[in-house]
A and B are shown apart, each in its own frame.
Chain A
């Protein structure tokens, strides 16, 4: 992806900021300047200055009152970097046998210079790993919108089918919050599952509203075509939605 970089900004600094916001906003909260300053070990004043620049480039939405959130552009870049970071961690740890404690710093240095092609090859070489070694965080999905390695392997062995079309800004249904709505973009799964979901009214382009999310990784309740439908978390993660803002 082409990165717009302005004066006093390096690729590394932009990516580091976006990655920090990405990690801090994973639970859906907005991120405060202090948090970023703590993580990046940069003075709050510098953070504020940088955030304003990033906002100008449309990578983040920044307000001194409400804090910072990523734009879709920013999120894509951050996910990409986070993914590269974790793939590198796996590589350093599993293949080069570098100590757990050291892999993070090393990966931080390397992540900014790894090309997308190299990232894909690395993923394949590592047999599509799921989690990174040092903190157990999930490796963000690659651009194929694949959630887990199991899916990736199944997709390559033709066990999985897809209906619908990939568009930009896709979010898996299980990442939506209560009350959010969107349109079904595509669904991935075995043939029977796809047929079932289509029969229940989840055809591509259909509008859905997330009514309820059960706690403890429980099911997601949707409003679809005037009926309420509960989908288990595993199934919901295979349904990708174009979110309405």
Chain B
């Protein structure tokens, strides 16, 4: 992570063509990604929850004669290397030295954000402060004196509303100016007690010539704070510096009766508090809309309803809108050609039927459900309600060894497991990331939602589909508890900033929906069509029969499903939609209700929901946690699907 390809080319290019690198840094959820998208025109996924950008994103921007690389760093609160993101961001800024760092601040939480700004100033990087969300601050009755802030910080300040693109031009202009001229520096002064020791240690670091890539004063501060990484790095070069730093921090902590890291954090915060109070005037305001929403969403009764409402609403909306769109498209298509081609005739006609069947299935079963789903998911992500759900559900999540924040990746898992597992990085320990990822593999992603709606919702009614989701939640909870017991270790507690609600911006939501839908259309659609044709040919020539026969004891005897299900389940390993698309291809009709009994539809949907992580999910599991964990999780998936599927089949036959 500490070295990336563009860093070398940057140095080469800088002399002839005008190339600059701008890094965006700041607290979590202050609007860095919105700003990044505004600057680079890319479609970085945006969400109103902390920790969304877990890796840094890169994009480019052309401004006057400059080619600018923009780096979006993950949101962090400090450089104390509590988490991987903090270390990554710190190393990037200190070691790769971007030409200018834009520190993005949430204007409505100025004091807390300035704590980080002071640390950036200490790193002595060319800095521009971007005071974002000034509209929100204004609504909260805050009046910000920009000139005063500039004076106190000694760096240029630009006010922006990134969601509306306000102030972006000025920001880039100021950043380019800051990058090209030597900035004047203002030192952030601690109390004389602390300051004297920082100066002494910094002088020593200087004279010892440690050849660190960090500024001496910053190293001195970090040593006094007892930063593990820096202490290790310095210890390898000079024991003397470490010895002196230990004596100095001992002196400080005994004179203040307080550990040194706490003294420095406290003083840094008093600086931030002082600057904020000079630059900000707070007027009394009536409670904002966001606060009223807050009251409802964290109410001791209503809060649970809204939490449940988010999930149920998402699914209901997907089904109703999806069904409606699906009907419209089917009707439109039926004008062109009959929808249910038969498997007969020459290879060409079988192939053609397969291609057409794949296309129809994709257009009528996948797209109509995926678009409304992603649309509402983007709205939910953008609104900030996810942090409230995490807040309300914290105690429940503790029962499966996690804390509330894990609910955010879990809900994202309803969209797609892959980014959801990726975003498990917001959890603090490997154990928690693993437990969360395990739970996510059982979360019915959009692909499984298609299977559930396509098999159960359409033919048996939406109440059955919703019941399946409820059963799924129960399964996640029970297996989560087993996993918690199986993976040894302690759970950490929740520390999460609760950001204000936002009215989701339609353009942001629209873009996000399109980005996610596009990947399905471009990447998956061709495979559907080719795959569908292939399946029909293979099926017509009886190539697949041995496979389905081999699986028959499991599929027919234990799960009570038709023999062909064996093939479908194998296809579904690649992507879960292939289960339903494969069925359409094999039966040559989208009217699957004719080929399965109601019990079979439900059992198949249940098994499809649980039975194995799809290929891409498996790959990301292996990447994040290693092969062993990925295989173990998959086996747990398979076993629970077989067990629960078989039980469900036997139970359901009693009632239906």
Contacts and interface: CB of A to CB of B under 8 A. Distances in A.
Contact of A225 (B78, B111, B266): B111
A216 B266 CA distance: 33
A69 interface: no
Contact of A204 (B77, B262, B387): B262
B261 A198 contact: yes
A235 B494 contact: yes
Contacts, number: 130
A185 to B, nearest CB: 12
A117 interface: no
Given A198-B262, A200-B497, A206 B269 contact: yes
A8 to B, nearest CB: 45
Given A161-B259, A198-B265, A218-B395, A230 B112 contact: no
B403 A164 contact: no
Nearest to B498: A228
A225 B271 CA distance: 13
B110 interface: yes
Interface stretch (A17-25, A43-51, A90-98, A189-197): A189-197
A200 B495 contact: yes
Contacts of A232: 394, 398, 403-404, 493-495
Interface string B434-447: 00000000000000
Interface in A143-167: 161-165
Interface residues of A, number: 39
B493 A235 contact: yes
Given A212-B298, A227-B112, A234 B261 contact: no
Contact of B262 (A163, A215, A216, A227): A163
A201 B115 contact: yes
Nearest to B259: A163
Interface string B111-150: 1100100000000000000000000000000000000000
B524 interface: no
Contact of A230 (B77, B109, B111, B495): B495
Contacts of B585: none
Interface string A32-65: 0000000000000000000000000000000000
Contact of A231 (B112, B257, B300, B493): B493
A163 B258 contact: yes
DSSP class of A's interface residues: helix, strand, loop or mixed?
mixed
Contacts of A235: 493-495
A226 interface: yes
Contact of A218 (B257, B259, B391): B391
A217 B395 contact: yes
Given A163-B259, A218-B395, A233 B493 contact: yes
B265 A230 contact: no
A203 interface: yes
A219 B78 contact: no
A231 B495 contact: yes
Given A227-B112, A233-B493, A164 B269 contact: no
A229 interface: yes
Interface string B406-431: 00000000000000000000000000
Contact of B266 (A192, A205, A219): A205
A152 to B, nearest CB: 17
Given A201-B112, A204-B262, A214-B395, A229 B497 contact: yes
A162 B262 CA distance: 9
A165 B497 CA distance: 26
A226 B77 CA distance: 15
Contact of A194 (B109, B262, B303, B499): B262
A126 to B, nearest CB: 24
Contacts of A201: 111-112, 115, 269
Given A199-B80, A218-B391, A226 B112 contact: yes
B171 interface: no
B82 A231 contact: no
Q: Which 6 A-B pairs have the closest CB atoms?
A: A232-B493, A232-B494, A199-B78, A163-B262, A198-B265, A235-B493
Given A165-B257, A197-B495, A219-B404, 8 more contacts: A162-B259, A198-B261, A198-B265, A204-B266, A214-B300, A214-B391, A216-B396, A227-B112
8 contacts: A164-B258, A164-B262, A199-B265, A214-B394, A227-B109, A230-B390, A231-B494, A233-B493
Interface of B: 77-78, 80, 82, 108-112, 115, 257-259, 261-262, 265-266, 269, 273, 276, 298, 300, 303, 387, 390-392, 394-396, 398, 403-404, 492-499
